[in-house]
């Protein structure tokens, strides 16, 4: 059922390089797939633009040819087909359908991967995404000429940053000046860096290749350009918005971002609470809810069996992650041998650095009754780990938002996280006062050091032995609002602010 608000309805074009259910490599696609639905439920008109990758099953998604546009490029105009589909859901108002526009040019996007193959980036990624961004702006022009209103261009990550740059330079005009631009940075570590000699492929004036604009230590930096040209910028948590203004996590752009701090906001991601719902999860052998937790014990026994571990009543630690240093996996590996001398079990699901994978396998052979390891990814197993584990470990060195801790809260599986980014903003740390106030939902440690992680896990295990305190934490976790509805309202506020910014900009340019 639609949930209308008193805020003005906005016409939004969301541009992204991946969107669920069409194409996905990571959490970006989850955001760009879920957020439009929640915005439509609030009464906003949302259109989505994405590349028409070869891996997309057009028939399954109802994509059909809609129009074609001529896209200027360094090698001459290219004709691109725009395919269209309408997303329909019982919760989407009939007068606010979500239109999806897939920009098709097979020489660029009819490939096996989205950004790379066999671990190597496509060498023509600058051309590919410059084409996509310019085709998106041509789509905006087409819609405007068809008397369609567009209030907001909402871009996501470096792959889309040329769209707002084109909009404000090559396509600057009376109608386009009304469009507010919001750039969402999902991970500042990925910036779209290319050699300087590729800049002409953008078709932008050479004057824009300057230290104050797109030039970055002699290279082209698309994300930097997006930050400069966007009206508002947001990251996926308030703490991460502060962290990226520091040299430690600014990845060289901290100064650029600090100059725009008055236009920078943090908005925590949500999750699909219909898909991640322990009371109605088809992946689980037993269901449970905040009103009846008995099924969680059966989920624990089931996942122990799936990993070949004895079905014992001991604390079970879960870890689902990309096995990389950014995720702090090395910290966990350093303390895991000591943890496995205790009366507990650990289950791991992930893939990543081969040496890290081998280290987990080696420990599993050494502690076969205490450690279960699966290398790879399995969606159903991820759900079963979230339901069956007692604690969930996320020792990330940095984490813009994080989703696994949100799943854990939803499933009453207590997270142990590092105090960084979205982990800080979503997990309320254990303390006697927070327990008494019914607020504590997890455990946090500060330094990216094994001893800090170990001492925090030992504290969690000690609290686990107190059933009353542990249940209080589980209930507080499961009561936490981790839905996209909360996040969508925050984005709605940003769109309202964009309208005010563009109104002032338009008035000053008259």
Instruction: Quick: pLDDT tens for 332-356.
Output: 999 999 999 999 999 999 999 999 9
How confident is the model over 314-323, as pLDDT tens digits?
A: 999 999 999 9
How confident is the model over 151-160, as pLDDT tens digits?
A: 999 999 999 9
Which among 467, 450, 432, 310 has a CA at the least distance from the CA of 393? 450
CA atoms of 118 and 269, how far apart (whole Å): 30
Mean pLDDT for 250-264 is 97
Structural domains in the chain plus CATH codes: 11-270+485-509 (3.40.50.2000), 294-481 (3.40.50.2000)
pLDDT band at 34 (very low <50, low <70, confident <90, very high): very high
Sheet holding 215-216, edge to edge: 193-195, 219-221, 215-216
Name the one residue in this structure whose structure tokens are 């219909």: 274
Cα 408 to chain centroid distance, Å, stands at 16
Q: What sections of 199-353 are H helices per DSSP?
A: 222-229, 238-243, 254-259, 294-306, 329-339
Mean pLDDT for 81-107 is 89
Mean pLDDT for 440-463 is 97
Name the one residue in this structure whose structure tokens are 């470096």: 158
Quote the pLDDT of residue 229: 97
**Average pLDDT value over all residues in the chain:** 95
Quote the pLDDT of residue 510: 54
Mapped to the 3 state alphabet, what secondary structure does 40-64 carry? Answer: HHCCCEEEEEEECCCCCCHHHHCCE
CA atoms of 503 and 106, how far apart (whole Å): 39
How confident is the model over 420-438, as pLDDT tens digits?
A: 999 999 999 999 999 999 9
Q: Cα-atom radius of gyration of the chain, to the nearest Å?
A: 24
Extract the runs of DSSP E, i.e. beta strands, from 325-442.
345-352, 371-375, 391-394, 414-418
Report the DSSP pairing between strands 11-15 and 45-51: parallel
């Amino acid at each position: 059922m639609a949930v209308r608000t008193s805020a003005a309805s906005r016409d939004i074009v969301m541009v992204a390089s991946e969107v669920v259910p069409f194409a996905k490599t990571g959490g970006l696609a989850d955001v760009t797939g879920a957020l439009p639905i929640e915005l439509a439920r609030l009464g906003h008109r949302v259109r989505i633009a994405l590349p028409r990758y070869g891996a997309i099953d057009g028939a399954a998604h109802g994509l059909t040819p809609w129009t074609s546009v001529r896209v200027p490029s360094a090698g001459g105009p290219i004709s691109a087909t725009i395919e269209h589909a309408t997303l329909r859901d019982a919760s989407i108002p009939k007068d606010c359908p979500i239109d999806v526009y897939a920009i098709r040019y097979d020489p660029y996007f009819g490939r096996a991967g989205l950004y790379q193959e066999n671990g190597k980036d496509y060498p023509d990624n600058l051309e590919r995404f410059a084409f996509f961004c310019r085709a998106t702006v041509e789509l905006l022009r087409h819609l405007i000429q068809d008397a369609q209103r567009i209030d907001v261009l909402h871009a996501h990550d470096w792959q889309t940053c040329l769209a707002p740059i084109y909009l404000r330079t090559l396509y600057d005009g009376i109608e386009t000046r009304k469009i507010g631009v919001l750039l969402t940075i999902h991970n500042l570590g990925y910036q779209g860096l290319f050699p300087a000699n590729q800049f002409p492929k953008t078709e932008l004036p050479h004057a824009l290749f300057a230290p104050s604009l797109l030039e970055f230590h002699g290279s082209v930096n698309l994300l930097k350009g997006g930050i400069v040209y966007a009206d508002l910028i947001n990251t996926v948590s308030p703490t991460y918005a502060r962290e990226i203004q520091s040299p430690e996590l600014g990845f060289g752009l901290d100064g650029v971002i600090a100059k725009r701090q008055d236009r920078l906001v943090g908005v925590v991601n949500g999750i699909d609470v219909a898909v991640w719902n322990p009371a109605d999860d088809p992946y689980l052998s037993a269901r449970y809810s905040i009103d009846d937790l008995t099924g969680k014990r059966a989920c624990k026994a089931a996942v122990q069996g799936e990993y070949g571990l004895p079905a014992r009543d001991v604390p079970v630690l879960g870890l689902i992650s990309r096995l990389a240093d950014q995720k702090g996996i090395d910290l966990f590996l350093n303390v895991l041998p000591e943890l496995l001398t205790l009366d507990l079990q650990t289950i791991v699901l992930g893939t990543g650095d081969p040496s890290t994978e081998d280290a987990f396998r080696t420990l599993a052979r050494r502690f076969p009754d205490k450690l279960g390891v699966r290398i790879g990814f399995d969606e159903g197993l991820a759900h079963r780990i979230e339901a069956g584990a007692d604690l969930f470990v996320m020792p990330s060195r940095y984490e813009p938002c994080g989703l696994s801790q949100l799943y854990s809260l939803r499933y009453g599986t207590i997270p142990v996280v590092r105090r960084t980014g979205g982990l800080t903003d979503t997990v309320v740390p254990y303390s006697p006062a927070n327990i008494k106030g019914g607020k504590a939902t997890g455990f946090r440690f500060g330094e990216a050091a094994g001893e800090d992680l170990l001492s925090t896990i030992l504290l969690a295990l000690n609290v686990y032995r107190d059933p009353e305190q542990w249940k209080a934490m589980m209930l507080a976790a499961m009561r936490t609002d981790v839905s996209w509805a909360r996040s969508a309202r925050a984005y709605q506020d940003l769109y309202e602010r964009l309208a005010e910014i563009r109104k002032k900009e338009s008035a000053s340019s008259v």
